[in-house]
Amino acid sequence: MDTCMAYAYTGLYIGLCSGIFLLAVLSAGEEIPAFARDPPGLKPLRRMAVFLYRQIRKRRQMRRRAGKDLFIPGEEGVRNDLSILYPSLKARRQEVCYQIFKIEKLLLLLFSGVLLAGGLHIHSFCAGILQEGETVERAAAGGPDRQLSVKALPATDPEGTASDTEREKEYGTYGITVHARQYTRAEADARAKEILRQFPEALLGENPAPDQIRTPLSMPSSADAKPFSLSWESSRYAVLDTDGSIFNNTYTQTQAEEVELTAVLEYGEYQFRKKMAFTVRAPVLSEEDRLHGEIGEALTAAERDSAEENLFRLPRTAAGRELRWSEQTEDVSAGVLVLGAVAAVLLWYVMDYRLHERIRRRSRQMAIDYPQFISRIVLYMGAGMSVRNVFYKCAADYRKKREEKGTRRKKRRAGTGMRYLYEEILLVCNEMDSGVPEAEAYMRFGRRCHARQYTKLCSLLVQNLRRGNDTLLQVLQEEAQSSFEERKNLARELGEEAGTKLLLPMMIMLGITMLIIIVPAYFSFSM
């Protein structure tokens, strides 16, 4: 990673962490509203959320005085959904509580992303092993090898005669393994007999024969030879490199180059060699690739020549050019930071979407409960009970049932077992007890339900109270029959929806079943 870019990232993360600290200081004296204290969370984070929410409110008030407003995505839909879900609570208080919780979760996600990205940046910044631009300290004898990625750049011109184009020129990025310090001859002799065994001979790869080399060789691994190193020597590095690469892009079809590749198993002066002859045929690399190969060869030669030294020094010249080096370290912190920001934006919309899903489930639940409710009204009114007493009876039964469930399961999630229709009926009874006229309570009930069938029912009940209606019971009986038909249609739709959702798991199971049948049959054919 370039030094300038690394320092830029460092400044960015320092600024972000300073912003988090400043936000924590500014919100330290913030008082959390009583209705926003539950469920309990991290107090500093909750204070930050309250502080930001109040700052946003102040900003909106200032813009409104100027005849403008601050746009917040999804605000109007959230306000409507909350007023439907919580009709018995103050809509403003519920909206404030929801927005504070949303800001709190966004802050938690953003802070986590910043801390994770900063940690990754520090790790990548401290992971560099290049010292003073040209030296690398080797591991102790017998220790692990060290991987180095460097970028070749033109050397700095002390006289300042080089042009800007020459100073900005790059010769490519190179990777090299810096081996641990080698043992002395005495140490090598003590372990040579235990390690030196044999090495792989299958180097051809996709090539048909040693005299028909047209694709790179398949070089063996040296992992089994540690702490000895398995290296390769080529009689012509411009034709066949030690990593198996061949440079034949410009060869003609009749051109052929003989090259000798030597396998060397060594540790210090202890060596085992095997020479192999190959004939490389068409084609050879471009000038740019040739330069890249020569610089790579220079790196490998410099590392090999300094194998017994404590420091590995990168070559200052290669391919007839003066070079300077810049280490390339992988820093994924920027991606993590962007991912955290994107996740925070998505979280904002996901929370609103989940709120809308609750509204949809509420509407469906109330549609399902409607036939049972109107049947109870018909039953109780047929027994001589007034409409008002029917509502009180339904509310009392629901309250008793809810208390019984609460005793059986003390800890339950909010909303589990709640029936929105009967919650609205409880609210109707509370309004009538507090002095709201019965007709007005029914009309409010119809408006809060946000459903056509409830609006029609409340209109019939209000009409019966104001003008009287001898045929109310008969009308309600007909409404009950039609509501059961609608319930059947709704059940049919829910069944089709469930079948659609099961389609993907069924396809996955079908694929697994086909694999279970086909794979054994294929292997039996092969045998």
> Quick one: three-class SS letters along 161-173?
CCCHHHHHCCCCE
CA–CA separation, 344 vs 89, rounded Å? Answer: 29
pLDDT score of 283: 54
C-alpha to C-alpha distances, 384 to 371, 381, 441, nearest whole angstrom:
20, 5, 22
Give the separation between CA 197 and CA 248, rounded to whole angstroms. 34
pTM metric for this prediction: 0.50
pLDDT at residue 196, as a whole number: 44
Structure confidence at residue 342 (pLDDT): 92
Alpha-carbon gap, residue 172 to 195, rounded angstroms: 37
Segments of the chain with pLDDT less than 70: 1-3, 34-41, 87-91, 125, 127, 131-133, 141-142, 156-169, 184-202, 221-228, 230, 253, 265-270, 272-274, 283-286, 290, 406-417, 468-469, 525-527
Bridge partners, residue 263, by sequence:
232, 274
Measured between alpha carbons, how far is 527 from 521 in angstroms, rounded to an integer?
Answer: 10
Q: Name the amino acid, one letter, at 489.
A: N
Q: What is the pLDDT of residue 225?
A: 64
**Residue 201 main-chain phi, psi, to 5 deg:** -115, -15
Residue 283's nearest CA partner among 259, 247, 236 is 247
Cα dist. 432→73, 316, 366, 368, 436 in Å? 38, 92, 22, 26, 5
Q: How many CB atoms lie within 10 A of CB 426?
A: 18
| d(C-alpha 446, C-alpha 452), whole Å | 9
**What single-letter DSSP state applies at residue 218?**
-
Phi, psi angles (nearest 5°) of residue 279: -120, 115
d(CA 234, CA 464): 104
**pLDDT of the residue at 413:** 46
Residue closest to 71 by CA, chosen among 79, 82, 81, 63 = 63
Q: Amino acid letter at 359?
A: I
Using CA atoms, how far apart are residues 427 and 87, in angstroms rounded to an integer? 8
Residue 35 confidence (pLDDT): 59
Length of the chain: 527
Count H helices, E strands: the chain? 14, 10
Identify which of 153, 158, 195 has the alpha carbon closest to the alpha carbon of residue 170.
153
Phi, psi angle pair for 444, to nearest 5°: -65, -40
Backbone angles phi, psi at 131, to 5 degrees: -110, 130
The Cβ of residue 153 has, within 10 Å, a number of other Cβ atoms equal to 18
> Rounded to the nearest 5°, which phi and psi values hold at 21?
-65, -40
